[in-house]
Structure 1
Amino acid sequence: MTSTRTLGVLLLSAILFTGLACSSTSDDSEEASAPNTLTQSETEAGWALLFDGTSFEGWTGLGRDSIPEGHWKIEDGTIHKVESGDVPTAPDGQPLEGGDIMTTDTYRNFELKLEWKTSKGGNSGIKYNVSDSLSTAHEPQYAALGFEYQLLDDKRHPDSEEPSHRAAGLYDLIPPNEQKSLKPVGEWNQARLVFRGNHGEHWLNGKKVAEYNLDTAEFDSLFAASKYADIAGFRTRRAGHIVLQDHGNDFWFRNIKIRELSAAE
């Protein structure tokens, strides 16, 4: 038989548990934000939106004064890279129509985060430390030259046969490590990128998957063997645009946020 005292303790415990659960739910909902908005804690930490969910304000086509019409559009709160279709391509597969888009502002030391999802067999990238003039001086004219956080459907795109070309790696330089956990096609992945001084980090879905220091002998060797080795000024530049790559395939981006860092942070 359960005593009156025991029933009282059980009732009090249930009330306390319910109160804690409600409190936790309230805190979580306060921190959760609608797509393309900032939470209070993000605002206090210095984060800023690079995409407002409704317009291309703060963006332009690389080497252009506007967004390449028909190749990029705002759709359901996302930036949608539209499938290029049957168009001429460069040797590396980048389409010769359309082109990359970039932030109008440049950034030197920063932390960037965004969500992305791909179509089947999709290929794109987040490029950073990009010079508009350096990029347009090389072919293809509207493709950015800069360090690249690779975005890819690893299971279906043939580029994944090269380890340093797989999703979240530093393209053509450093492959992602075994911590990588990629969401299935059609689901949102979370990318986070840190570039400060000579140090860079790539994160995917909460796990650090690539890290590098530009001033090391190891990076010297990697760079010398990469496609960028003979591009003057590529490695020494420290401030540039953030770029979303047009590699011809359907891709979607949202929740693009950045905070600038001090060099010593």
Structure 2
Amino acid sequence: MKKKTIALPLLLLGVIFTGCKDQKETNEDQDNPEIEANSEELKDEAGLNELSEKEKEEGWELLFDGESTDGWRGYGKDSFPQGWVIEDGALKVQGSGAGEAGGGGDIIYKEEFKDFELSLEWKVSEGGNSGIFYLAQEIDDEPIYTSAPEFQILDNEKHPDARLGKDGNRQSASLYDLIPAEPQNAKPAGEWNKASIIVYRGTVVHSQNGENVVEYHLWTENWKEMVANSKFKDWENFLNAGGDDKKGYIGLQDHGDDVWFRNIKIKQL
């Protein structure tokens, strides 16, 4: 009987100790800001070609769902062109090997945008070349690049454009042939890069892989001078990018090489 009387309090002490320990760990977890931050991060994480709850609240719009070409069409066309396909959740332009002279041609999204932030991911094939156009006008018998600034996409290692132009202004993320991207932080061919373009009341910022690499200001005296000293000097629609309403189309370039685009989303500002 004595032995049993001793065992019961010991058992109760063990239960109490274990319960206190579990409660302490629970309280510590609740008070740990790192755990709370990680939970919030997971909550806001979006899947491929999806918007997170936070992005939806902030007003982001998905321009490509990874499964269809809805909303996209050929520049100067009513339909989506051959030469572009959906591959592994990405919009892919299939290289023709003929540069801008071959393939399906450039594509644009159906809606015009004025002040916005565009975000997407891209990767390029070895030696590949492409671009992202913005504020583009759709003008009969004129290609898209005569009216739209271009965020350059390039394999800097293999494509000769990387060594042409001036001071690297044809390398990846540059304002094509006008302002070089600095720092130049593009990933090699075959790897995904993240691009962002902000247009707000004429101020334009290019970002690449999380760093701002280009900033300039449309329609200013500096812009006019820069264009006047470039190959675009006689292109009135380029000088007046966005037209009278200061808005235009988002376009993706077919330059004859394999290039992939995904996670295309936009927030109007």
Instruction: Indicate whether the TM-score tops 0.5.
Output: yes
Runs of 4+ that moved beyond 4 A:
11-15, 141-144
- The alignment status of 1:26 with 2:39, answered yes or no, reads yes
Residue 64 of structure 2: which of 38, 41, 51 is its match? 51
Which deviations, in whole Å up to 9, do the C-alpha atoms of 1:40-72 show, x marking residues without a partner? 111111110010111110100001111221x10
Residue 123 of structure 2: which of 94, 114, 117 is its match? 117
Match of 1:4 in 2: none
The answer to whether the Cα contact below 8 Å between 1:62 and 1:143 also exists between their aligned partners in 2 is no
Equivalent AA in structure 2 for residue 39 of structure 1: S
SS of equivalent residue, structure 2 residue 169 = helix
Match of 1:218 in 2: 222
- The alignment status of 1:169 with 2:181, answered yes or no, reads no
State the 1:164 CA deviation: 1.1
SS of equivalent residue, structure 2 residue 46 = coil
Q: Distance in 2 between matches of 1:193 and 1:259?
A: 11
Match of 1:90 in 2: none
Which deviations, in whole Å up to 9, do the C-alpha atoms of 1:116-155 show, x marking residues without a partner? 111111110000111112xx423xx576741100011111
Q: Distance in 1 between matches of 2:29 and 2:236?
A: 63
**RMSD of aligned Cα (Å):** 2.3
Residue 250 of structure 1: which of 240, 258, 268 is its match? 258
The answer to whether the Cα contact below 8 Å between 1:150 and 1:165 also exists between their aligned partners in 2 is yes
Q: Distance in 2 between matches of 1:259 and 1:144?
A: 25
- The alignment status of 1:73 with 2:85, answered yes or no, reads yes
TM-score (norm: length of structure 1):
0.83
Equivalent AA in structure 2 for residue 121 of structure 1: G
Match of 2:114 in 1: 108
State the 1:109 CA deviation: 1.1
Higher helix proportion, which one?
A: 2
Match of 1:156 in 2: 158
Q: Distance in 2 between matches of 1:160 and 1:120?
A: 13
Identical counterparts, % of pairs: 40
State the 1:256 CA deviation: 0.4
The answer to whether the Cα contact below 8 Å between 2:116 and 2:267 also exists between their aligned partners in 1 is yes
TM-score (norm: length of structure 2):
0.82
Q: Which runs of 5+ in 2 are unaligned?
A: 1-19
Equivalent AA in structure 1 for residue 162 of structure 2: S
Q: Distance in 2 between matches of 1:215 and 1:132?
A: 19
State the 1:25 CA deviation: 3.3
Which deviations, in whole Å up to 9, do the C-alpha atoms of 1:212-256 show, x marking residues without a partner? 012443322211122222122222222111000000111110010
Distance 1:98 1:13, change over 3 A: same
Q: Distance in 2 between matches of 1:54 and 1:29?
A: 24
State the 1:75 CA deviation: 1.2
Q: Distance in 2 between matches of 1:182 and 1:12?
A: 48
